[in-house]
Amino acid sequence: MNASLIRHPRQGDGIRLRMYLVVIAASLCALWIASYRQEAAKASSAGSADAKRTLSKDERMKWWRDARFGMFIHWGLYAVPAGEWKGKQVPGIGEWIMERAHIPVSEYEQLAKQFNPVKFDADQWVRIAKNAGMKYIVITSKHHDGFCLWDSKVTSYDIVDATPFKRDVLGELSRACKKEGIRLCFYHSIMDWHHPDAQAPFYPNYNDTKQSNPNFSRYVENYMKPQLKELVANYGPLGVLWFDGEWIGDWTEPQGKDLYNYVRGLQPNIIINNRVGKGRKGMEGLSKGDQEYAGDFGTPEQQIPAKGLPGVDWESCMTMNDTWGYKSSDQHWKSGEDLLRKLADIASKGGNFLLNVGPTSEGLIPGASVERLAAMGDWMEVNGESIYGTTASPLGEVPWGRCTAKPGKLYLHVFDWPANGKLEVPGLKDHVRKAYLLADKKRAKLPVTRSGDTLVVTVPEKAPDRINTVIVLEIKS
Ligand code: FHN
């Protein structure tokens, strides 16, 4: 019998077995792919449902609370005069020059013809923020002067229609932020010195908080709200709408509540600051219900509340020099050391730090700002864990620096290094499992002893970081 015909029972079985195995493997593979696709479809629909699902406040605030550090950008026509008008230095913050120099609307508008920021590069701005360790950017879509940094269909007083630059800056920033995973947020001024139904008629005192414009509600309904709709629809989803200029007499708490609801209707999970209403008077005093409409977080400005704002989310916004909008004469820069320690101080009190840059009329972030932000980024690269997603210190004041916390961990931010090599941590009752330098990849243990209620950590003779060295205490919380 032709051997070839003899199909060895074992051999035949072997081939059949292999075929069965191949068929089973192929079926399993097909099953896995089908289930993966189903899971992915479920996840993505859940994701988009999440985007559509109205989140709880804690869910909404999570990315913001984790972020802790953002970039404020004040940019507009005021960068052209840069603090000087008709040959004279104008005192005060640069973005207020229209008010401080009492410039008529018709004259101030002419600045648009000179605004041609040819060196503007959205990717560069976003990289500067990201490399500094910042997680979100809040830029002035429209400041008090009424000039719009996007291509608005509601006015021609905007960067596309009124300037030789003709580019939609907010659109370019939106794309750059998406590319780098940075949340884009807009500052938007309720007070508008250019609009005839708002404060323009109050010239020469645009900031008159007593006068009332009989057409103000027309400005709100036919101008401000449609512009906000443009901003959310065309550049969103946004992280935060950061309102300002709420102190004018024509703006009331009921309008604030209405605006809060309007914006929440445009993007249910957007975060809204407390200046949407008259919230700057302090949210902690408001009832739970009123607090809801008072916005999602408090906005202490150019200051760090001594004890933070217990019970509410808050963000301290600050300039790097003394002006928000660019002023060529303002070279009064805070040091990188001061800025870094402010970041730790704010986080140790449970707040966010919104640090401002005021780009020039050419579209460049000033070099002094870039240098400081790069230095902050170097520190954040090593120590970001002690800032991002942390909560306020459970310890009282500590003499040598600040403290931030996460479940099971305390981060000791040591500004003043102990000369005797013994860092004393008062009032810490928790059992400390381990102490180590955050910068030490090997997490070599630092000796820990107790003296009564005071924990004593033996530290290296020299401070690894002279500005802020972080020591981690792993505790049995
Ligand atoms: O008047 C504005 C000022 O120009 C700047 O925008 C600051 C930043 O928070 N807010 C207002 C002053 O409180």
Mind listing the pLDDT tens digit for each residue in 84-122? 999 999 999 999 999 999 999 999 999 999 999 999 999
DSSP secondary structure letters along 252-305: -HHHHHHHHHHHHHHSTT-EEBGGGTTGGG-STTS-HHHHHHT-SBB--BSS--
CB of 143 closer than 8 Å to CB of 74: yes
Mutation test residue for ligand 1: of 301, 326, 353, the one with most atoms within 8 Å of CB: 301
CB of 233 closer than 8 Å to CB of 58: no
For residue 268, say if its preceding peptide bond is cis, omega within 30 degrees of 0.
Answer: no
Please tell me the predicted confidence (pLDDT) of residue 53: 84
CB of 170 closer than 8 Å to CB of 160: no
Establish whether residue 151 lines the binding site of ligand 1, counting it when its CB lies within 6 angstroms of any ligand atom.
Answer: no
The CA-based angle 450-419-347, given to 5 degrees, is 70
Over range 384-399, report the average pLDDT: 95
Please tell me the predicted confidence (pLDDT) of residue 453: 85
* 397 pLDDT more than 50: yes
Establish whether residue 99 lines the binding site of ligand 1, counting it when its CB lies within 6 angstroms of any ligand atom.
Answer: no
Nearest ligand 1 atom to alpha carbon 74: 6
Nearest ligand 1 atom to alpha carbon 356: 8
Please tell me the predicted confidence (pLDDT) of residue 294: 75
Nearest ligand 1 atom to alpha carbon 301: 9
From the list 410, 380, 396, the residue with the least C-alpha distance to 473 is 410
Give pLDDT tens digits for 150-181. Answer: 999 999 999 999 999 999 999 999 999 999 99
Please tell me the predicted confidence (pLDDT) of residue 452: 85
How far is residue 402's CA from residue 345's CA, in Å, rounded to a whole number?
6
pLDDT category at 11 given cuts 50, 70, 90 is very low
Q: What is the pTM of this model?
A: 0.89
From the list 219, 222, 291, 216, the residue with the least C-alpha distance to 253 is 291
From the list 431, 440, 441, 430, the residue with the least C-alpha distance to 464 is 440
Please tell me the predicted confidence (pLDDT) of residue 50: 40
How far is residue 290's CA from residue 128's CA, in Å, rounded to a whole number?
38
Residue 23's DSSP bridge partners are none
Strand order in the sheet with 432-437: 401-406, 409-414, 469-475, 432-437
Give pLDDT tens digits for 326-360. Answer: 999 999 999 999 999 999 999 999 999 999 999 99
Please tell me the predicted confidence (pLDDT) of residue 279: 67
Over range 183-187, report the average pLDDT: 98
Residue 190 identity: I
CA distances for 119 relative to 69, 123, 124, 330, angstroms = 26, 12, 10, 21
Domains and CATH numbers, the chain: 54-386 (3.20.20.80), 401-476 (2.60.40.1180)
Establish whether residue 244 lines the binding site of ligand 1, counting it when its CB lies within 6 angstroms of any ligand atom.
Answer: yes
